[in-house]
Amino acid sequence: MTKRLSIAAVVVVLVLAAGAYFLLGGAEPRGPEQPIAFPHPVHVVDNQMECTYCHYTAERAPGAGLPSTQLCVGCHVPGSGAIDPAQAQLGFPEGSEEAEKLVEYWRQGEAIPWVRVHNLPKHAHFPHDSHVTVGLECATCHGPVEEMDRVYQFSSLRMGWCMDCHRGGMELSEAEEARVQERSGYIRRIAAAADAGVDVRAEQMNFPHQRASVDCTVCHY
Ligand code: HEC
Ligand code: HEC
Ligand code: HEC
Ligand code: HEC
Ligand code: HEC
């Protein structure tokens, strides 16, 4: 009797586990919970804001950067430039608990403690400026952020992923490919060397569509 019961228990556990696996496997990936449920879709899609309006160092520095509390408050608290933060009142949307949290951080003079989604190990360096000015789209690496309720890591960020694009294996959109062909310093260096009569066949033999350097020291230093 106990044996039959325990078999029944095992069966129930297996069925539940299979159900959980199915449900989780079919669910959308979700990033970590943030101190304020900041909605990218509302800002990017409904209000047509550019990614670089908030991540404004992406084009000119290694880090894309996160917006300051001040930048958020500039919209959400009318007259924020002139008033004492202690007196700050949420302008819109009225009655929003999440936007109210934003005002509370401002009143306290605190930075919003956003939880990092992407985290390369310290020994690897990723410069946003090189990638954005060469003409790559944010979405190529970050996916459809404008649809994410909670931002999640879309690409593996493994070394093989970086290499695959640098060597030309990863397919880009036609527009990106055209910009990269025109702007990549690596492609220009190879072309200039070939023009000057240098033999570049060894460079190009394995990866004829290479678009960026794969020297270890470029990413590790
Ligand atoms: C109104 C400001 C704003 C706009 C516009 C905006 N973002 Fe963000 N973004 C944030 C804030 C705040 C965070 C941190 C909270 C979070 O992860 O949701 C963030 C987080 C991110 C992260 C994760 C950062 C990490 O921790 O690793 C990525 C990637 C990102 N945004 C990409 C984009 C892209 C791509 C666009 C355009 C499609 C965009 N963002 C538009 C404010 C903005
Ligand atoms: C070629 C791939 C690639 C492109 C293109 C790219 N990113 Fe990133 N992004 C990354 C990687 C890799 C990281 C993680 C960097 C780290 O942890 O040091 C990252 C991190 C971030 C972060 C976290 C904060 C930071 O500075 O590390 C934000 C925000 C972000 N990206 C936004 C953007 C936006 C906005 C664009 C377009 C303007 C963009 N990214 C274009 C690969 C890319
Ligand atoms: C350029 C103006 C602008 C900036 C800058 C801005 N927002 Fe918004 N935000 C809006 C608009 C517009 C809405 C939609 C309001 C509505 O639905 O009535 C919104 C909606 C929100 C909401 C959703 C409220 C709800 O309950 O639906 C939150 C939370 C929020 N913003 C937080 C932030 C944070 C945090 C920042 C800074 C990272 C920020 N906003 C920067 C314009 C802005
Ligand atoms: C979608 C394609 C793509 C991905 C993914 C990508 N890169 Fe790049 N990367 C490029 C291109 C194109 C350039 C510009 C090359 C040039 O101008 O010489 C570049 C340039 C660089 C540079 C500057 C090289 C130099 O010679 O100054 C570094 C460093 C770099 N990438 C590191 C990384 C790392 C680290 C990753 C992964 C975390 C990564 N990249 C992922 C396409 C990519
Ligand atoms: C285009 C950028 C890029 C280039 C070029 C590159 N790496 Fe990396 N490498 C990374 C990134 C990003 C990571 C961290 C992610 C990971 O571990 O996959 C990494 C991780 C590593 C690690 C740690 C692996 C681990 O499991 O912890 C070693 C070792 C390494 N690289 C060695 C090298 C050597 C040797 C070269 C030259 C042949 C090289 N890398 C060239 C981007 C690069």
The tens-digit pLDDT sequence of the chain (221 residues) is 455 656 566 555 545 554 454 455 556 788 999 999 999 999 999 999 999 999 999 999 999 999 999 999 999 999 888 889 888 899 999 999 999 999 999 999 999 999 999 999 999 999 999 999 999 999 999 999 999 999 999 999 999 999 999 999 999 999 999 999 999 999 999 999 999 998 888 877 889 899 999 999 999 98
Tell whether the torsion through CA atoms of 32, 146, 164 and 217 is positive or negative.
negative
Q: Minimum-distance ligand to the CA of 74?
A: 3
Burial of 49 (0-12, 13-18, 19+ CB in 10 A): middle
- The overall average pLDDT reported for the chain is 89
Q: Minimum-distance ligand to the CA of 166?
A: 4
The whole-number pLDDT of residue 119 equals: 95
78 near 184, Cβ under 8 Å?
no
Q: Which residues line ligand 1 (CB under 6 A)?
A: 34, 38, 40, 43-44, 49, 51, 53-55, 66-67, 114, 116-118, 138, 142, 145-146, 151
| Dist. CA 175–CA 137, nearest whole Å | 10
pLDDT, one tens digit per residue, over 47-78 is 999 999 999 999 999 999 999 999 999 999 99
| Dist. CA 54–CA 30, nearest whole Å | 21
Which pair of tokens denotes residue 36? Answer: 């304020």
CA of 71, closest atom in ligand 3: 5
CA of 145 to the centre of ligand 1 (A): 7
Which pair of tokens denotes residue 194? Answer: 């070939």
211 near 168, Cβ under 8 Å?
yes
CA of 163, closest atom in ligand 5: 1
Q: Minimum-distance ligand to the CA of 141?
A: 2
Report the C-alpha dihedral over residues 68, 74, 77, 81, rounded to 10 degrees.
100
| Dist. CA 130–CA 113, nearest whole Å | 28
CA of 59, closest atom in ligand 2: 38
The whole-number pLDDT of residue 17 equals: 52
201 near 193, Cβ under 8 Å?
no
Tell whether the torsion through CA atoms of 141, 145, 148 and 152 is positive or negative.
positive
162 near 219, Cβ under 8 Å?
yes
Of 36, 53, 32, 35, nearest to 44 (Cα)? 53
Residue type, 218: V
The whole-number pLDDT of residue 28 equals: 73
| Dist. CA 18–CA 205, nearest whole Å | 49
Of 188, 183, 187, 193, nearest to 209 (Cα)? 187
